Structure 1
Amino acid sequence: MSTMLDPVTHPRPESLPPAWVEAIPELQALYHSISASLEPEQDVRPRRGLWFEALRQVEPAAARVVLLGQDPYHGEDHGIQQAHGLSFSVPEGVRPPPSLRNMLKEMQTDVGQTLSSGNLMPWAKQGVLLLNASLTTRGGVAGAHSKIWQAFTHAVMRYLGQREAPLVFILWGNHAQQFRPLIASWHQVISSAHPSPLSAHRGFFGSQPYSRVNAALRKLGLGEVQWGEPIAR
């Protein structure tokens, strides 16, 4: 008989990726405080075990692009939670929410590429850190834990923004752009309106973020990101 636990009813314990604790020691104490604050919560999105998925997929030295989101998705699609620890991304089998749909639409226009799903894990595998400013929220409630995570993500962004090895930062919308003062001048910053339906037509569509990121990476002597697959003609 299998002893494997159901990841929903028996999620694995959450833990910080060691490489990030080594790079930013203060994260451990911050996480202990966060964990205590969230202990009473019954419906945390994403589920425990996925809170640090973005950091788990991209170690500090491997990061070359940072795409900063605001808050995890708090809903479900076909009974599957939308949030899985990567900003803007959804698991396989989940339909892309509106902001992600607009991102994929702009990607087709900008670089002539598409993705078969809304799962952005292929970006993470190439060193794109898909980080949310708040790493969790409550099911059905946007921004429920934003104050709890404020010091934690500020520490991560300060570390990355002052890192000697240059990075490309993607800052969409006013919330992400509030982190701009933490980013040193030797990094490249790509900013525009947010891809949300409320703002996409006010500067996101036509902003060409994907080709601009690759141009910035070339300028820094780094390899380009393969955003998707070429659209069949």
Structure 2
Amino acid sequence: MTGPVRAALDAFRAAGSDWARLPFFADGAAEAVAARVDARIAEGARVLPDPQRIFRAFALTPLPAVKAVILGQDPYPTPGDANGLAFSHVGAGRLPASLKVILAEAMPDERPRTGDLTLWAERGVLLLNTALTVEAGKAGAHLRFGWSRLADEAVAAVSARPEPAVFLLWGAQARARAVLIDAARHGIVESGHPSPLNRARDFPGSRPFAAANDWLAARGRDPIDWRLP
């Protein structure tokens, strides 16, 4: 019997995404990760986000459409909060502290009514977590399940394109992936992590969104509209 994550994987492949050509999806690695997550579901764990949203970042932002990449760690572990996009929040409660800091930088003169970053994804921002699943109440539970290879391959795939893109790397884990990026062709905007737990407080005031747009404009690409409703 096919588990829900394996079913979501099969549906993602059937959709014909360019991302499905990554080695991760071709050599059995994807099946191995899906089997591991499905095993946790069979054991009674509540896995987030819903299976049909696990590959949503890739579905909303096709490889040829990527203008910017933002890397997160893993989905929010509170049921209902995550929708398959890094940092995006659709829950009924207050916005996560990190997202508040992010939105204050992206829209310093506005207060958006939503933390849903779907519009960013549709505008060419790949919002990719390095682990696509988590368990309710257990942040980081699937960080070692094998998803990180997919994040590495996705970063490398964008870097391999001739079209320029800009990578916004926040915090040590994201910045470590700078070695995967061809800096001669693509932009790299590094900042500290937006989490309030970051004692250096080196994200506020770093202007990563403005810097990313300046880099794109200097290379003839339209800037990204970071505004949200």
CA contact (8 A) 1:67 1:131 kept: yes
Which residue in the other structure is 2:116 paired with?
A: 119
Which residue in the other structure is 1:224 paired with?
A: 223
**1:162-211 deviation line (CA, Å, top 9, x unaligned):** 22221110000001011110000210011110100012762101001111
CA contact (8 A) 2:82 2:91 kept: no
CA contact (8 A) 2:73 2:130 kept: yes
Q: CA deviation at 1:91?
A: 1.6
Q: CA deviation at 1:71?
A: 1.2
Segment of structure 1 superposing worse, 210-219 or 13-22:
13-22
From 46, 49, 53, the counterpart of 1:50: 53
Classify 1:35/1:200 alpha carbon distance in 2 versus 1 (closer, same or farther; 3 Å).
Answer: same
Q: 1:61 corresponds to which letter in structure 2?
A: P
Q: Counterparts of 1:168-207 in structure 2 under 5 Å? A: 168-185=166-183, 186-199=185-198, 202-207=201-206
TM, length-normalised to structure 2: 0.86
Which residue in the other structure is 1:4 paired with?
A: none
From 4, 8, 23, the counterpart of 1:14: 8
Secondary structure in structure 1 of the residue aligned to 2:8 = coil
TM, length-normalised to structure 1: 0.85
Which residue in the other structure is 1:151 paired with?
A: 149
- Structure 1 distance, partners of 2:89, 2:207, is 22
CA contact (8 A) 1:107 1:114 kept: no
User: May I ask how many residue pairs the two structures share in their alignment?
Assistant: 215
Segment of structure 1 superposing worse, 149-158 or 204-213:
149-158
Q: 1:52 corresponds to which letter in structure 2?
A: F
CA contact (8 A) 1:170 1:191 kept: yes
From 125, 134, 137, the counterpart of 1:137: 134
Q: CA deviation at 1:99?
A: 0.3
Dislocated runs of 4+, deviation >6 Å: none
- Structure 2 distance, partners of 1:187, 1:57, is 21
**1:9-68 deviation line (CA, Å, top 9, x unaligned):** x99941335223454244243211111111122211112111101001000001111011
Is 2:74 the counterpart of 1:71? yes
The alignment-based identity, stated in percent, is 33
Secondary structure in structure 2 of the residue aligned to 1:14 = helix
CA contact (8 A) 1:114 1:228 kept: no
Q: CA deviation at 1:107?
A: 2.5
CA contact (8 A) 1:194 1:200 kept: no
CA contact (8 A) 1:95 1:118 kept: no
- Structure 1 distance, partners of 2:111, 2:24, is 39
Which residue in the other structure is 1:96 paired with?
A: 95
RMSD: 2.2
Segment of structure 1 superposing worse, 45-54 or 195-204:
195-204
Classify 1:90/1:160 alpha carbon distance in 2 versus 1 (closer, same or farther; 3 Å).
Answer: same
Structure 1: gaps of 5 or more residues: 1-9
Q: Looking at secondary structure, tell me which structure has more helix per residue.
A: 2
